Structure 1
Amino acid sequence: MFHDHKKDIYQPYLLKISILNNDVLIKHVELLDHEVSEFKHVHDSIEIYYALEGNLTMEIEEDKVTIPEGSMAFVGPGTWHYSVYEPGIERKYFIIIFDFAESFSKESTTWEANWEIDGLNSLLARLTEKKYLLAKDAYKCDRIIQIMAKELDNKEFGWGSILKDLYAKFIILSFRNFISRPSMEEETDLKRNPSNINLAIEITKYMHKNYQNNISLQDVAKEMHMSSRHINRVFEACFGTTFSRTLSIYRLNYAKDYFYNTDYSVEKVAGLVGFSSSRSLSRLFKEVEGMTIGDYKKSLEENRDKK
């Protein structure tokens, strides 16, 4: 690679951090842009490419792939790859190369830790099999990269310790993008499968019929005789958001209808549309509508007076 060492993020030396009580060796971290020409290369480590600004075109083994802005690629050990140099096309991307000191083992006695280790080992096995994985970033990893750049630039007291924590957080959230959500390839396959489209429609019907009750993803999974993970993966692939988020917005729309047509209190409306409390409804209303319920009711009254 050709490097400009005056970039916002550049760390070519080894650094040891801890993830799930196991040592992880950070080998290289760098923020790159469209002026960089990268040679085809291979190594025995895992490398994450994150497209910060603009799409990133890569060749991985024999495949030419595009990483959309706000997405990432996991490249497995022993996989030939490089980012394609495209003159005149602006882009900015982040890379981090790392190794696990040893395989993750279930030394912890807690089921939560063992569950996390199972998920991570499953992901690493999938990466070994497929050579690379692509995923959209649902956990705002770009913000972590921005803080990294700030810490490296300012080098205030404790910056080294903070940087280690940021590297660990970035890697963990990157894992989460692949473990908790379908990859970009899997998402495409889910959308193309007619049975999954029919399943998504059935889920929305169930939601429409039961939104006012205390239902959950687990209830839907039980009704459909499927795992809650599969239900959520299909739902996200078809509608671009989670079941729980969609259910909340669904309830919010019915709440707005009550506010428009009745003078019911917030507490009563919350109960009628399935919110656990009036506070939950008020908080979501402010987040989505950009105003309080009180302000919304006032605007309705003002519009009625004008008529």
Structure 2
Amino acid sequence: MKAHQQKELLHSNSPLNMFFTDVSEFPPHWHEVAEMIYVPQGSLRVGVNNEIYKLEPRDILLITDGDVHYFVPEAERTNRLILHFSMSFFESAFPAAKNKCFARSIWKESEAGVHNLLEEQITAIIGEYCAKGDACEIAMRARLLDILVLLARNVPMQPYSPQKRIRRLNRLERLENVFAYVENNYCSDISLPEISSLANFSEYYFTRFFKEATGMTFGSYLSNYRVEKAAQLLRDTNDTITEVAFKSGFGSIKNFNRVFKQIKGCSPSIYKKTISEE
């Protein structure tokens, strides 16, 4: 059985970092850093706020800091390189960027220009990592700085006032509380009134708030989260289908089978059999 992998390429607490991963179970989340995703091969769907982006081989997606994003679960695992860089670090080197953020951008493999320049730096980073030569970490960081120069010269920046940032962080804090609550309580019943109260909203406004922030309803998010937890148990334990269903928060086997097949495209038993044969 193949385990999901996430391998950091740089190991220190740095304003610039990067890692390889094939993990698909990232629920909606956000960072105070910008994120760039590069797909060497395969395909990947990424949800950002209320939009879905389909990434094909060699596509590059830039997600600005504070954007809520997630990976849409796929039957096939897709390895990707993820770059994180702090906007405060960028501002210190480029004062014109103060109180601004990059516009979300996607570069398709079919495009030339900026895509090819970015990919050249990204593949150089991968090459340095694989070669593991002298000073490879310094070389990788240097390539990351080259990427920041390309972004500064080619990607529009949007005004981002301190007041707007505070409002956005307050909004994201409410969302983070919801994510944390689901993480800790997904195996129990979670009602709409309960989660709305946690976020300090009426049910009506919470429903609108969550859909606008994540692009999905809370019910859909909860079902996806539970199915990914169930898939993890099916991969990594010898629990029966019934045990997995109840440990994942499903109240009945019938509902578990229906929702799992709807999201994964196959029944839990077929999923477990397929994974065990890999």
TM over 0.5: no
TM-score (norm 1): 0.35
TM-score (norm 2): 0.39
Rg larger in structure: 1
More relative contact order, 1 or 2 (CA 8 Å, 6+ apart):
2
